[in-house]
Structure 1
């Protein structure tokens, strides 16, 4: 709430939009101190939806001021900026993109994100609304990127070609290799992968690659080793990879040519248990060819 006093338009624009049809409406909750008919103090939890919360914020800041060089400067809620912020909300809600523009949305999920805020407690209620400025807030969290709830982030209002939620925080999402893989797929950049689905498919990231070739008198020996990282969501119904033991699989094949040439190949795949959403896969292959 103190940030509102900076009179920064973007702060006002971040206030919950009262015209948005929320699945889970963000609330301002205050434990208020009340007196009953006998003068006894009681605590009552009051909840305010976005439109009513603005009125409470206005009351809380009504007497607020700062002291600078001996001067007392009042800093109440700036209603002019609040009006501009509402106009910005209205513009964003009605803006549409041309049909020639393809819109994609990638947003962060799997991080606790503040949604509803509560001041005071049943045992320590707020007796004066102006005391909100100095009260310690407690939050109720929803899924999001730690800053923006997923419900808000994916409500862009555009006719999106695709929307994808990625397990990343608000700033870290721009550095996510998972996001890079999705963008690469959508832009058709690099080697195409017709089987990749960014919405529900695994993401396989090569992290190491080694190849060795040896030429001998009557043949060639080629050895390949790759390390992969697999990022995969969990549906909560099947056993998670972290619950599975390490798995090892081996495949061998040989082929003899018409002129006595012999080719042999052997591959080994080691799948390690998942750790923190990442799964390590090690692939090793050896190929040998003999002249007749």
Structure 2
């Protein structure tokens, strides 16, 4: 879409990739983005850059902006975010740490990475810990993990529903993952909940919470709506309760849903904390937003390429956009 609008790769159009498993603030990543911004700035004749980010890319840029505000201000004119989990993606991330992540369903799942294999990978990924629900955010309703536990009293068995919020869930992760291990070449490698990564992620969350939009940078936010998005996640049932918490890792979850893009709740994606020029909800799924016609129209409008606006989008905040600059990352 951007090429069709007249952008040229390597001159006015650049990409910056990242490893989704890594932390959003590792030095190599931050330094690489700094170099990329400067390269784009110089290649387009010292014109400031427009950043377009999707999903975790929004957290990456927020970390960069917080840690290198002067550099960000020097090279960036506009920043457009799409479907960023600014306050976390509670349902998907909580369950990723406990049972894994299933990207495809049905027969296709036999030809893709299994849920359990993804679990064994994600439990060691700093980015996953960094996308846990922000415990400092004032959620309309705090996300919870719910567990039906088996209770025994004088030989009688019953079920009790236990609930864990963003803070209490840490003790649940610790207990549920205490026996988790990976079999590799005949060897067993322990993969419990990683408190060193959790501490690192807490530092990342503080950096994100402290981020401020520099003066002179225009900010725009697109978030997905109209799709059931996991929020609370539940394990066991009243008729089939869980006795030992380590059993959770081998059970299938049940979700309660909120509005969002199927992955990131709209409440989280909207909560960037910045004075947005425009913040727009688009009815589309998380990845589908990247090829949605309404999203294209919005981006073209904000870039000054096309002033037409899709009548199907809804805007929660509108103001006049500043003069356009034509470099884009």
SS, match of residue 146 in structure 2: strand
2:292 aligns to what? Answer: 176
Q: Does 1:118 align with 2:234?
A: yes
Q: Does 1:9 align with 2:126?
A: yes
SS, match of residue 170 in structure 1: coil
Q: In structure 2, how many angstroms separate the alpha carbons of the residues matched to 1:54 and 1:32?
A: 17
Give 1:117 deviation, angstroms: 0.2
Q: In structure 2, how many angstroms separate the alpha carbons of the residues matched to 1:17 and 1:76?
A: 22
Q: In structure 1, how many angstroms separate the alpha carbons of the residues matched to 2:141 and 2:290?
A: 27
Q: In structure 2, how many angstroms separate the alpha carbons of the residues matched to 1:122 and 1:102?
A: 51
**Structure 1 portions without partners, runs of 5+:** 197-201, 204-230, 234-292
Cα RMSD (Å): 1.6
Q: In structure 1, how many angstroms separate the alpha carbons of the residues matched to 2:298 and 2:126?
A: 33
2:37 aligns to what? Answer: none
Q: Does 1:157 align with 2:273?
A: yes
1:280 aligns to what? Answer: none
Give 1:189 deviation, angstroms: 2.3
Give 1:175 deviation, angstroms: 0.8
Q: Give the conservation status (yes or no) of the 8 Å contact 1:4–1:77.
A: no
Q: Does 1:40 align with 2:156?
A: yes
Cα 1:126–1:137 shift into 2, 3 Å: same
Q: In structure 2, how many angstroms separate the alpha carbons of the residues matched to 1:100 and 1:164?
A: 21
Runs of 4 or more, structure 1, over 6 Å off, are: none
Q: In structure 2, how many angstroms separate the alpha carbons of the residues matched to 1:107 and 1:35?
A: 46
Q: In structure 2, how many angstroms separate the alpha carbons of the residues matched to 1:107 and 1:141?
A: 16
Give 1:113 deviation, angstroms: 0.5
SS, match of residue 168 in structure 2: helix
Q: In structure 2, how many angstroms separate the alpha carbons of the residues matched to 1:132 and 1:111?
A: 26
Q: In structure 1, how many angstroms separate the alpha carbons of the residues matched to 2:255 and 2:230?
A: 6
Give 1:66 deviation, angstroms: 2.1
Name the TM-score, length of structure 2 as normaliser: 0.57
Q: Matched residue pairs, number?
A: 197
SS, match of residue 30 in structure 1: strand
Give 1:12 deviation, angstroms: 1.1
**Structure 2 portions without partners, runs of 5+:** 1-97, 101-117, 315-329
Deviations along 1:185-229, one digit per CA (max 9) or x if unpaired, are 233323x46xx6xxxxx62xxxxxxxxxxxxxxxxxxxxxxxxxx
1:93 aligns to what? Answer: 209
1:28 aligns to what? Answer: 145
Q: Give the conservation status (yes or no) of the 8 Å contact 1:5–1:76.
A: no
Q: Give the conservation status (yes or no) of the 8 Å contact 2:294–2:313.
A: no
Q: In structure 1, how many angstroms separate the alpha carbons of the residues matched to 2:242 and 2:313?
A: 46
SS, match of residue 280 in structure 2: strand
Aligned counterpart for 1:49 among listed residues 154, 157, 165: 165
Q: Give the conservation status (yes or no) of the 8 Å contact 2:224–2:286.
A: yes
Q: Give the conservation status (yes or no) of the 8 Å contact 1:5–1:77.
A: no
Name the TM-score, length of structure 1 as normaliser: 0.64
After TM superposition, list the pairs within 5 Å mapping 1:223-238 onto structure 2. 231=312
Deviations along 1:216-246, one digit per CA (max 9) or x if unpaired, are xxxxxxxxxxxxxxx377xxxxxxxxxxxxx
Deviations along 1:81-115, one digit per CA (max 9) or x if unpaired, are 11111111111111112111000000100011000
Q: In structure 2, how many angstroms separate the alpha carbons of the residues matched to 1:90 and 1:129?
A: 30
Question: Larger helix proportion, structure 1 or 2?
Answer: 2
Q: Does 1:79 align with 2:200?
A: no
Q: In structure 2, how many angstroms separate the alpha carbons of the residues matched to 1:114 and 1:126?
A: 21
